Structure formats: structure tokens, C-alpha cells
Structure 1
Amino acid sequence: MLVTRPEPDAARTAVRLAGLGFEPVVLPLSRTVALKTDIPSAPADAVAVTSANALRYASRDLIGKLSPLTCYAVGTRTAEAARQAGFAHVEQGPGDAAALAERIAATFSGRLAYLCGRVRFAGFEERLAASGVRVDALEVYDTVTIGHDENSIRNMLGARPVEAVLLYSAVAAQAMQGLLQRESLRPLFGNMQFFALSKRVAAALGSESAAMVNVAEQPAEPELLKLLARRMGHAAGGASSHRPFSLP
């Protein structure tokens, strides 16, 4: 099982995979880096966060200014990160950015400070803007691709081909698509399944690949790992009837 998400999350995912009986290999295809973000001059009425990374990379000064406000967090893990960062009043969302936008739009009016990454789901802001919510996007981190040379990939994976690839972001999916085009890596990636956190991530693989990818019912890792266990015949049992991805 190839884990493509950035560290330190990749290591935690590897432990969970090992607990399910899989053999994980960590190969991050992207990394997150902090961005310098100015503290907004316009006062906000509340805060929204759709990724725990935003809380990890936001400056202490910025968190200090915003922490007295209500924080709308996308799901359980982000809500926990918000509390640890110092937000006293955290509203936990259903785990999906689009659903969180619907909830905020139905109950909130005012100016919303959105702690986010440079690469993000545009629909969240678009839905809130359509409802009259003023959104100040504060980009506190960026997601960039990691380039791996072919020798290092072969050494890391060994002789055994990859059976499944876990994809958590569109950036990683696009990077994976690039690896699939390398002739020397075809024996390692010749017959496998993709497991994507969301439809948006799956779509980043390209139209042909996305048609054959497994997508979690909800964009949360527990749902993704349940799907992986069910389709690959581990833990939940049962063989997969899903057609594996094959390189042309």
C-alpha cells in the first residue's frame, strides 16, 4: 500500500494500515510549507478552517487575534486541532467542506476569516459568498509537489509491485499521474487500485484513471481505510469486484 500524503500524517496512516494487516510504504508526493500571512485589518466575526494544516501553519500572532472568535471546523480532527491551538468556542462540522459551507450559510451572517491553504476547494468560498457571507481567505500554507528520481522510488518499493495507492490531495494525484507515465516504473505500477479521499482528488488523476478509482463516501481517513479494507479483502473481509487500474 503506497501512502502519498505529506509527513507527519503519512507516518500515522502507515501505522493504521499496518494494524489492518497491510504492508505500507510511505512515499510522500507533496509537502506543506508555511506562508507569511498578514493579520487582517478588518475585524472578523468568526473563523472557518477546513484543514488541520491551516492551524499547524498559522502564526501565533494570527491565532492569538482570532482565537476569541467562534471557529467553524470541518470535522473531528480539525476541531481538536482548533481547541489545541487555543480556540475556546469550536463548532464541529460534518467532515466535508461543502457541507460545512451549507451549515455556515444557514446560520451565520457577517465577516468570516478563512484559514486555508493556497491550494484549496473553491466551492467552499463560492457557496458562502452566494449566501452573502463575506470571506477573507488567509492563506497560511501551500502544498507543493515533491520530485522523486526513479532510482529512489525503485529502492524504496523493492521488487514487489504496488497493489494500492492512497491519495489525499489533488496535488498528490497529479504527481502520481506523472509517475505512471515513466516507462521504467511501469512494472511497479502495472496493476493496482487507487483509493482517493474525495471525488475532487480522483478527478485530478485524469478522466481515464478517475473512472476506475475507489472514492471514500466521506472525505475522512476512517472512511477511506474502511473502503480500502473492504475492497482489498482485509479486515472487513471479502474480495474486490472493482476492476484494477492498468497502465496502457
Structure 2
Amino acid sequence: MVRVLVTRPEPGASRTARRLEAQGFQPVLLPLTETAALPFERGAVPPAVAVAVTSANAVRHAPKELIAALAALPCHAVGKRTAEACRTTGFLSVAEGPGDAGALADAISGELAGKDLAYLCGRVRFPAFEQRLATAGVRVHAIETYDTVRLTYADAEIAAHLSNRPVDAVLLYSAKAAEALSPLTRRPALRGLFEKAAFLALSARVGNALDGIGGEKIRVASQPDEDALLALLSLPG
């Protein structure tokens, strides 16, 4: 059975594991990052005519009073999973975007030009979304609700997570996880666990963050969503 290492944090890691099992793969969980809520200053809600969310974590970690203050505004979510999280959290009118933050910015910039947008986001994020909107004349108010931190493991901990057996593929969802994984693959005690693995990246940016791993071992999803990422597992090696 093909052993697939899942590096994303919970709760997504367990959800991905269930999908892998349903497709006949053996998931191995080793979260390389975790998310943590950031403190929120009461009264820090900006004037805005709409809300944008490019990560489900941004609403999962948002305090109730912030969601309550923004819930009646039109909410633009980057894709399906984030839209579901927004609705579950309490947003009343949620539009599902194309799945890519840059494409979402292009899609909403016309109607929001010259207006204020509340952007629920993480402290660690790709700047293109805000840059594109600012260029189009949208006043973006970033509200950082969570941070992403790297997890560290001793060699013995990683070997135990992997049952001291090599993995056939590694799923990478973020550049931060890719940056955390790269040095692990070079540790003498762990090198054998990764030497035959394919490294499957959610986007080119994630793949580019893999340092010291041969390009022939890296595959990039055709679009930045989990369906496209898991489809890479079925391609011939």
C-alpha cells in the first residue's frame, strides 16, 4: 500500500487522512505547522462594505464578537472549503471564489474599487491578494486572526510517526511546511525515510520552498486545491 505523509495541521490533517484511506492509500500524519489564535482588540472592526477570507483558519480562529460585527456583510471566500467555514461560523451571504487568492482579488476588485474591505487573514500570508486589490483602488483592512508556527521534532519522534518505514509520497499544503520539511530530509537518521518519496505541492510557490530536493521529485498540482493535489498520487511516477 502506498504510504502518504500528510504535513498539514489539524483539523485538515485528519480530514485528508480519511480521503486517502477511501482512495486506498495509507496516510501517515506528521503536522509540520500548527495554527494559533491571535489576540483581538475590541473596537478594531474597520468600516467596510464587504469581507474577504482566503483561509478557513481565519474564521475558525476569529473571535465571536468580530464575526458578529461582520456577519451581515457580503463575504467573499477564496474557495469551497473556506466558503463552508464562513457559513458555519455565521456569515449570512457567502460567495464562493475560484480557489486562488489572486484570482479572487481580480474577481472582486471591480465592484470594490474605491471602497473598504475587511480581510480576515493570518499573520503569515502571501501578499499578492492585498497588492492586487490595492492596485485596483480597494482599501484593504487586514485583520490578522491567527498565526502559523513551525513544529519541531527530534529524530526519534519523526521515526516513530513514520513507524520507522519510508514514505512513498509527501503532501505539502504551504510554503512554511515545505520550508520545515526540507531540513528533515537531510538529517542523517531520517534520510532513508524520504529518499524514494515524491513531494507533491499544492502550488508552485509551495514547491519552490523545498530546498535541496531534486526538481524531478517535486510535482505541483494543476490548481491550488486538494482535489488536484491528490490527483497527483494517481499519476505514473
Q: TM-score, normalised by structure 2?
A: 0.94
The number of residues matched between the two structures is: 232
Structure 1 SS opposite 2:192: coil
Partner of 1:100: 104
Is the 8 Å Cα contact of residues 7 and 30 (structure 2) preserved in structure 1?
A: yes
* Whole-angstrom distance in 1 between the partners of 2:90 and 2:110: 26
Report if aligned partners of 1:204, 1:210 keep a CA contact under 8 Å in 2: no
* Sequence identity (%): 54
Sort the Cα spacing of 1:41 and 1:2 in 2 relative to 1 into closer, same or farther, 3 A.
closer
| 1:223 counterpart (223, 228, 233) | 228
Quickly say closer, same or farther: Cα 1:85–1:164, change in 2 above 3 A. Answer: same
- Classify 1:117/1:211 alpha carbon distance in 2 versus 1 (closer, same or farther; 3 Å): farther
Aligned to 1:34: 37
Q: Which aligned segments of 4 or more residues in structure 1 are displaced greater than 2 angstroms?
A: 37-42, 206-212
Looking at structure 1, the residues matched to 181 and 123 of structure 2 have their Cα atoms a distance apart, in angstroms, of 20
1:24 aligns with 2:27: yes
- In 2, distance between residues paired with 1:92 and 1:20? 26
Q: Is the 8 A contact 2:123 2:145 kept in 1?
A: yes
Unmatched 5+ stretches in structure 1: 232-238, 241-248
Q: CA deviation at 1:42?
A: 3.5
Amino acid of the structure 1 residue aligned with 2:117: L
Q: RMSD between aligned alpha carbons?
A: 1.4
Letter in 1 for 2:74: T
Q: Which runs of 5+ in 2 are unaligned?
A: none
Q: CA deviation at 1:2?
A: 0.4
Instruction: State the match for 2:153 in structure 1.
Output: 148
Correspondence list, 1:22-171, <5 A: 22-38=25-41, 39-40=43-44, 42-109=46-113, 110-171=115-176
Which one of the candidate residues 6, 14, 36 is aligned to 2:17? Answer: 14
Query: Is the 2:182–2:213 contact (alpha carbons within 8 Å) kept by the matching residues of 1?
Result: no
- Distance in 1 (CA, whole Å) between partners of 2:46 and 2:38 is 20
Corresponding residue of 2:206 = 201
